[in-house]
Structure 1
Amino acid sequence: MLYSTLFLLASVASAVSSSEIGSITCVYQYANFTICSRASELINVTHKGNSKFLQLELYNHTSIGPHTFASVQLVWLILIFSHPSTGEPRSVDLRPESFNGLEATLRTLDIYCWIVPHDSTPLSFLQNLESLTLQQSQLTEVPKNLLKDLRNLKQFVVKSHNIKTISDDSFSMLNPNIEVIFLEDGDLEFIQGKPFRNFTRLRMLSFTRNKLSDLQAGVFDGLVRMRTIKLGSNLLSKVKRDIFTPEHRVLTNVDLSDNQISEIEESAFPDIDVVMLSLAKNRLETLPVGAFSNLKLLRLLDLSRNRIRRISSYFNGLDNLRKLLIDSNEISRIEPFAFCGLTLEALRIRYNANLTELATDTFNGLTIGGFLELQFNNSSNIKDDAFRNLKAFDILLSGNPLRSIDRVRWGVGKDIIVNI
């Protein structure tokens, strides 16, 4: 939950003036916050205005005392315990009483560079908290005790972590009505069992930039309302069947980009409502017949930066497909009628050095509302009627070794612009 319109930065490092009363030091902020500390303990925060946002850079503090926030009504609090130049997590003593006064108002809490204790529940008073982010905390497991009292939590985000395994009960203390889980930028290698089976309201799940090399059948069972799953930048080598099942009917956005995928098993994508599918930056050399035929609502398919050598009628029946991206592959041949029946907004087949020839009827039956983008291939031989029955606004052929345009021989319609 972001309250950018309420953003007023209050940083301990940006003092306007300060005063010392005994061992207590108070720092006055330009956003009308007053931050008071006793030695390395933060003991009091007050505010003269009505800002609901506070960011505290507590690089030298080791604890937050009880009732520190009793005089403010914050909606969003950010705590940063280490300087960005180091990013090293530190042990900072947080207790439930540290957040007294925020029980009713605080909705979003972001904590950076905090060594999360295993056996304490410092957030237990924050019953209305809806979003918790833990970043650069070197977590080695999901912090169950930290989560168990957060019964209204809707979003849980972990970034820059050392968690290697998610077990069947890793999320057992998480609010079953959670809607968003991010576990990104870390060392995750294994997901065991069915750890998400009780999260029937989860809408978004992200494991971007981890080290997942395999997913077992049924791993996402129970996620009947999941709409987005992000698995980009991992080490997956195969899209297996039964990872996605008819239970995931409302799933609309699947990101499998930047993996090592060289195989898509038959029926890996069942009859579900996927609208956007990215398989960019993988190792696909070919596609199984009907690989995407069940995805009747698919609108965007990104196959860029693979090793695909031949394009055939892989896309038959994708009546809702609007954007097809096949840049930077190893395509040497596109079969006649490969795109027949498609009505697209964009087709990009660029940067394929092995594509020296366009065969007769390559684009027969294709309709494009905009540009047919064929730039920077190596196409020097365009066969007779390669563009016959193509409907498009513009054919872009720049960056190919072509000396002239032969519209009649190529079969280009009279209303289509050709650029070389």
Structure 2
Amino acid sequence: MWFVLVLLFQGSTALYTLNQGAHRKCDYAHVNRTYTCSYIENIFPKMFYGNYALDCVSCSIPTFKVETFPYENSLISMNLTNSRIRNITSFAFQRLGGLHSLDLRYNVIRNVSRDAFNGLVEVYELYLDNNELEDLTPGFLNNFEGNQVRISWNKLKSIAGKTFEGIKGVMALDLSHNHIFTLFEDSFSYLDGLEFLDMSDNALCNLPLGAFKNLKLLKTLNLAGNHFRKFHFGTFSGLNGLIELNLSRNALIQFEPNVLLTMGNLRMVDIGANDLQYVDGLMIHSYAPPLRQIGISDNVWNCISLSNLIQYLHSVNIHVNEHYRYDVTNVHGIACADDTITDQKLTFEKFYNILKRNTNNAYNYC
């Protein structure tokens, strides 16, 4: 009797496993040269994939490891968005060395081990956006080379020293929309070939001197949407090739143009949407002669100082953020005050509301 029960149990278990496996399948669509793999759990089916793309639909892969895709292949693109990935172990993609694009967005990744992407040296795009990363393990990009790495919309709080140790090269790095508060002098070591760095919308209020010393090829630096109040001498030392610098949406109460001194190729700087009342236009012209565009709107300007600034920058295109403000006192559509309200410490929103109130009152006179 027990023997019969055991056989029945084993048979039902095998049937259940078979039925479960029946849901795991990868179908090829010739139109877009893509394999669509559905209901993958932990391991992909063993089959020919060719040098095509692969999209995962309704997959559940809590830990992506080398055993997850253990077959030799020549896939060029892999889309693993919404695949419930929590962890990526070392050498997880070692059999996917031909990938040009790896999309890991919208998972719940909390841990990426050292050597996780080891062997991916032909990547155009690596997307880790919209995950749960709180820190980056030094060496996680060891033996990796690509054009673009995006790690935005995570929960990063700092970039540890030598985080990018072992990287072969990357041109663009996006760390925007995190909670990064702390950087170290060697946070960006090993990124010698970097040309684009986006650190916008974080919690930075201080930069260690020498933080950018290794980024001599950097052309675009975006620090918008942080909490900077002032930049010190030497903050941007090493950025000799910088072309665009975005410092908008911070809390700058002071901007000394001499911080631009070493940037001999700078063409655009944006200091809009801060708490600035005065900037020396003559010094900007002296320290950054190649400058061709500047953003200065949405600050707490006095109209006279704003007029002087624009006068000194007559050869520079004045870029206005978002929209012109012609409904209040302004110069070139940039809101400013013609009285003493700029002596107060005001946010731009309060400043603008006062200007509107004063402008409305000004209509009622004879």
- Category of TM-score, reference length = shorter chain: 0.7 to 0.9
Paired position in structure 2 for 1:39: 20
What whole-Å deviation, never above 9, does each CA across 1:132-166 have from its counterpart, x for those lacking one? 22122222222446423535445432112222223
Q: Aligned equivalents of 2:335 and 2:200: distance in 1?
A: 27
Question: Per the alignment, in what secondary structure is the counterpart of residue 334 of structure 1?
Answer: helix
Aligned length: 323
Q: Aligned equivalents of 1:200 and 1:100: distance in 2?
A: 25
Q: After superposing the two structures, state which structure 1 stretch, 318-327 or 208-217, moved more.
A: 318-327
Paired position in structure 1 for 2:111: 141
CA contact (8 A) 2:201 2:224 kept: yes
Choose which of 308, 311, 315 in structure 1 pairs with 2:284. 315
Question: Per the alignment, in what secondary structure is the counterpart of residue 197 of structure 2?
Answer: strand
Q: After superposing the two structures, state which structure 1 stretch, 177-186 or 328-337, moved more.
A: 328-337
Choose which of 136, 148, 158 in structure 2 pairs with 1:166. 136
Paired position in structure 1 for 2:55: 78
Q: Aligned equivalents of 1:275 and 1:336: distance in 2?
A: 26
Question: Per the alignment, in what secondary structure is the counterpart of residue 145 of structure 2?
Answer: coil
Equivalences for residues 190-201 of structure 1 within 5 A: 190-199=158-167, 201=169
TM-score, structure 2 normalization: 0.74
Which residue identity lines up with residue 171 of structure 1 in the other structure? F
Q: After superposing the two structures, state which structure 1 stretch, 315-324 or 203-212, moved more.
A: 315-324
Which residue identity lines up with residue 331 of structure 1 in the other structure? W
Question: Per the alignment, in what secondary structure is the counterpart of residue 39 of structure 1?
Answer: helix
TM-score, structure 1 normalization: 0.65
What whole-Å deviation, never above 9, does each CA across 1:92-138 have from its counterpart, x for those lacking one? 8887575747x12x112121233245557653322211322212222
Equivalences for residues 280-299 of structure 1 within 5 A: 280-299=248-267
Paired position in structure 1 for 2:221: 254
Judging changes above 3 Å, is the alpha-carbon distance between structure 1 residues 274 and 297 closer, same or farther for their aligned structure 2 residues? Answer: same
Which residue identity lines up with residue 263 of structure 1 in the other structure? K
What whole-Å deviation, never above 9, does each CA across 1:60-105 have from its counterpart, x for those lacking one? 553554324x2x54532222437xxxxxx7638887575747x12x
Question: Per the alignment, in what secondary structure is the counterpart of residue 291 of structure 1?
Answer: helix
What whole-Å deviation, never above 9, does each CA across 1:331-374 have from its counterpart, x for those lacking one? 22517753526522334498789x969xxxxxxxxxxxxxx733
CA contact (8 A) 1:182 1:205 kept: yes
Q: Aligned equivalents of 2:46 and 2:164: distance in 1?
A: 36
Q: Aligned equivalents of 1:162 and 1:239: distance in 2?
A: 25
Q: Aligned equivalents of 1:118 and 1:243: distance in 2?
A: 29
Q: Aligned equivalents of 1:119 and 1:45: distance in 2?
A: 24
CA contact (8 A) 1:66 1:100 kept: no
Judging changes above 3 Å, is the alpha-carbon distance between structure 1 residues 94 and 269 closer, same or farther for their aligned structure 2 residues? Answer: closer
Which residue identity lines up with residue 315 of structure 2 in the other structure? T
Choose which of 210, 221, 230 in structure 1 pairs with 2:189. 221
Judging changes above 3 Å, is the alpha-carbon distance between structure 1 residues 256 and 299 closer, same or farther for their aligned structure 2 residues? Answer: same
Shift of residue 226, structure 1, vs aligned partner? 0.8
Equivalences for residues 5-404 of structure 1 within 5 A: 38-39=19-20, 41-47=22-28, 49=30, 51-55=32-36, 58=38, 62=41, 64-68=43-47, 70=48, 72-73=49-50, 75-81=52-58, 91=62, 96=67, 98=69, 100=71, 103-104=73-74, 106-113=75-82, 114-117=84-87, 123-144=93-114, 146-167=116-137, 169-171=138-140, 174-199=142-167, 201-245=169-213, 247-270=214-237, 271-313=239-281, 314-317=283-286, 318-332=288-302, 334=305, 337-338=308-309, 339-340=311-312, 343-348=315-320, 373-379=332-338
Question: Per the alignment, in what secondary structure is the counterpart of residue 263 of structure 1?
Answer: coil
Judging changes above 3 Å, is the alpha-carbon distance between structure 1 residues 63 and 164 closer, same or farther for their aligned structure 2 residues? Answer: closer
Shift of residue 193, structure 1, vs aligned partner? 1.5
Q: Aligned equivalents of 2:129 and 2:53: distance in 1?
A: 18
Paired position in structure 2 for 1:19: none
Judging changes above 3 Å, is the alpha-carbon distance between structure 1 residues 93 and 240 closer, same or farther for their aligned structure 2 residues? Answer: closer
Higher strand share: 1
Question: Per the alignment, in what secondary structure is the counterpart of residue 126 of structure 2?
Answer: strand
Higher helix share: 2
Shift of residue 277, structure 1, vs aligned partner? 0.9
Judging changes above 3 Å, is the alpha-carbon distance between structure 1 residues 380 and 55 closer, same or farther for their aligned structure 2 residues? Answer: farther
Which residue identity lines up with residue 39 of structure 1 in the other structure? Q
Q: Aligned equivalents of 2:252 and 2:289: distance in 1?
A: 23
CA contact (8 A) 1:52 1:73 kept: no
Backbone CA RMSD of aligned residues? 3.7
CA contact (8 A) 2:277 2:301 kept: yes
Q: After superposing the two structures, state which structure 1 stretch, 272-281 or 306-315, moved more.
A: 306-315
Question: Per the alignment, in what secondary structure is the counterpart of residue 316 of structure 1?
Answer: helix
Which residue identity lines up with residue 161 of structure 1 in the other structure? N
Shift of residue 238, structure 1, vs aligned partner? 2.3
What whole-Å deviation, never above 9, does each CA across 1:273-321 have from its counterpart, x for those lacking one? 1111111111001112412222221122111111111122341232222
Which residue identity lines up with residue 56 of structure 2 in the other structure? L
CA contact (8 A) 1:118 1:145 kept: no
Higher RCO (Cα < 8 Å, 6 or more apart): 2
